[in-house]
């Protein structure tokens, strides 16, 4: 079975939790594509060379989830050659036998426009900043400023900007619990499977 679930959206909207939950429920492999950009940003040096030489071990660093790593990731993610270096791996992961869930910013638009299920998960910036702040602590106003700046950089870049695919199901988690969002996502996937489109 070749079956791809593309889950895009801004930071801290709930993509990661939803992706992991539906991957487990439907027995699909999962790739957090943000981790690729975080690992490139964390390597330092020339980002294009870092992307070309990326290895699975680079994804195991324990400092990739920090706010600083997210910030560095969004800076290298604007470089077209960095994105090109990471495309093939993501495309192969998406269409390999067995089915996959990928979450990121450009999965439904660039990496896998043919995905059988596309979701765009979002929430207001203050709500996303509050969730992130609960994880990382520090000054909440500063976390909000970083979230807004990262959204801007991701949405305004020329190559593969963060945008919902025209056929994506929009999931706004501002006032929705993440478990309700997981159920909505699971229902959308089940419908496609039951219609035999998978
Ligand atoms: O999703 P996460 O917050 O880990 O992503 C970190 C950064 O990596 C994003 O802000 C974005 O700049 C970049 N990214 C991207 N395309 C993806 C996934 C992440 O440009 N598919």
Protein residue with least CA distance to atom 1, ligand 1: 34
Instruction: Identify the pLDDT of residue 178.
Output: 87
CA distance 106 to 150: 15
Q: Please state the rounded mean pLDDT for residues 101-114.
A: 98
Residue 49 to residue 66: CA distance in whole angstroms: 23
Would you state the pLDDT for residue 136? 87
What is the predicted pLDDT for the residue at 47? 98
Length of the chain: 198
Position 100 pLDDT exceeds 80: yes
Mutate to test the pocket of ligand 1, among 41, 61, 73 (most ligand atoms within 8 A of CB): 73
pLDDT digits (tens, 9 = 90+) for 110-166: 999 999 999 999 999 999 999 999 998 999 999 999 999 999 999 999 999 999 999
* pLDDT for position 48: 98
Tokens of 56: 């699975």
Distance 77 CA to ligand 1 centre (A): 7
Q: State the sign of the Cα–Cα–Cα–Cα dihedral 35, 180, 165, 89.
A: positive
Average pLDDT across the chain, whole number:
96
CA 105–ligand 1 middle distance (angstroms): 6
Q: Name the band, by pLDDT with cuts 50, 70 and 90, for residue 196.
A: confident
Task: Give the atom of ligand 1 at the shortest distance from the alpha carbon of 103.
Answer: 21
| Rounded CA separation 135/29 (Å) | 26
Q: State the pLDDT at residue 67.
A: 86
Over 80: is that where the pLDDT of 197 sits? no
Residues 130, 141, 73, 135, Cα dihedral to 10°: -40
Residue 38 Cβ < 6 Å to ligand 1: yes
pLDDT of residue 198 exceeding 80:
no
């Amino acid at each position: 079975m070749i079956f791809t679930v593309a889950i895009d959206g801004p930071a801290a909207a709930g993509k990661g939790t939803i992706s992991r939950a539906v991957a487990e429920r439907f027995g699909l492999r999962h790739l957090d594509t943000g981790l690729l950009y975080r690992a490139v940003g964390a390597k330092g040096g020339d980002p294009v060379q870092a992307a070309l030489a990326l290895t699975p071990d680079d994804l195991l660093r324990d400092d990739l989830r920090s706010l600083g790593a997210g910030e560095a990731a969004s800076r290298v993610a604007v470089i077209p050659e960095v994105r090109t270096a990471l495309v093939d791996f993501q495309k192969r992961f998406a269409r390999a036998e067995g089915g996959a869930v990928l979450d990121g910013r450009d999965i439904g638009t660039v990496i896998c426009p043919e995905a059988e299920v596309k979701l765009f998960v979002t929430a207001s910036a203050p709500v996303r900043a509050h969730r992130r702040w609960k994880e990382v602590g520090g000054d909440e106003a500063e976390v909000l400023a970083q979230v807004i700046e990262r959204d801007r950089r991701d949405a305004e870049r020329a190559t593969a900007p963060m945008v919902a695919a025209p056929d994506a199901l929009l999931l706004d988690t501002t006032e929705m619990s993440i478990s309700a969002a997981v159920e909505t996502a699971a229902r959308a996937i089940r419908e496609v499977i039951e219609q035999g489109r998978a």
